[in-house]
Amino acid sequence: MNAKHIQVQAVNKIFKTADKEVVALRDINLDIPEGQFVCLLGPSGCGKSTLLNAVAGFALPSSGAITVNGATVTGPGPDRGMVFQEYALFPWMTVEQNIGFGLEIKGTDKAAIRRKVDALLAMLGLTDFRARFPKDLSGGMRQRVAIARVLALDSPTMLMDEPFGALDALTRRNLQDELLRIWSELKKTIIFVTHSIEEAIYLADRIVVMTYRPGTVKRDILVDLPRLRDPSSAAFNALKRELGQLVMEEQQRHHNDELKMAAVD
């Protein structure tokens, strides 16, 4: 299956609660060519997850449209695999059962499942852990299983919501490198949410910086540094400073908003 072309067209998302309305996304327009690695960057509350969930089809836009290869998203689909921060593995299944589960549901025959699972276990360095349960794995290993599970379904698009946010720095870098390797091998379209500026520069072809409430596109930057990128290089650090300034402005708006709300309480 090929990577997918994703278009976000004039998307608004409004959450209505008992006493107020939150405009989480306002007039988002993004054209993501197939195979692009996009990071959505911004402080807490700027709508990154809301946008990702809209592309996933979990929570549709209030207005506007999202299309995948021209077809409007009306719900979740196997063409868009999601990896969450909290792994979302089945605790009662072993590593290999977790990875093969989606294929079993699809009715794939046992030998084919076995072949696919074996290949993914090898690809992600999990072969020795195939019979373990999630509770007996480190956070990094669990996240590898979550990635393998999405890869098992050959989803041409991977949607990743802060998948490495809970990991220590070294494990995080290892998984970032593995993800880059998988991406360059399998040519998937990836939308990856992060609030880490360094992670975004290390990974992405393109960084979309979002504003805090309402979530809009503040800056859309193409990153053309060669991979693997060196976080100590001058070019990396120049971009880090530029993005740091943009994110800080939004963080400040978040902070001011919180102060205002505290004053009302």
Ligand X SMILES: Nc1ncnc2c1ncn2[C@@H]1O[C@H](COP(=O)(O)OP(=O)(O)OP(=O)(O)O)[C@@H](O)[C@H]1O
Q: Under the rule (CB under 6 A), what is the footprint of ligand X? A: 15, 17, 22, 24, 42, 44-50, 195, 213
Between 123 and 208, name the residue whose CB sits nearer to ligand X. Answer: 208
Strands lying side by side in the sheet with 157-161: 80-83, 157-161, 189-194, 37-41, 206-210, 217-222
Between 144 and 213, name the residue whose CB sits nearer to ligand X. Answer: 213
Shortest reach from residue 22's CB to ligand X, in Å: 5
The dihedrals phi and psi of 68, each to the nearest 5 degrees, come to: -120, 115
Between 83 and 137, name the residue whose CB sits nearer to ligand X. Answer: 83
Between 45 and 156, name the residue whose CB sits nearer to ligand X. Answer: 45
Shortest reach from residue 184's CB to ligand X, in Å: 27
Shortest reach from residue 90's CB to ligand X, in Å: 24
Between 46 and 113, name the residue whose CB sits nearer to ligand X. Answer: 46
Shortest reach from residue 70's CB to ligand X, in Å: 26
Shortest reach from residue 110's CB to ligand X, in Å: 39
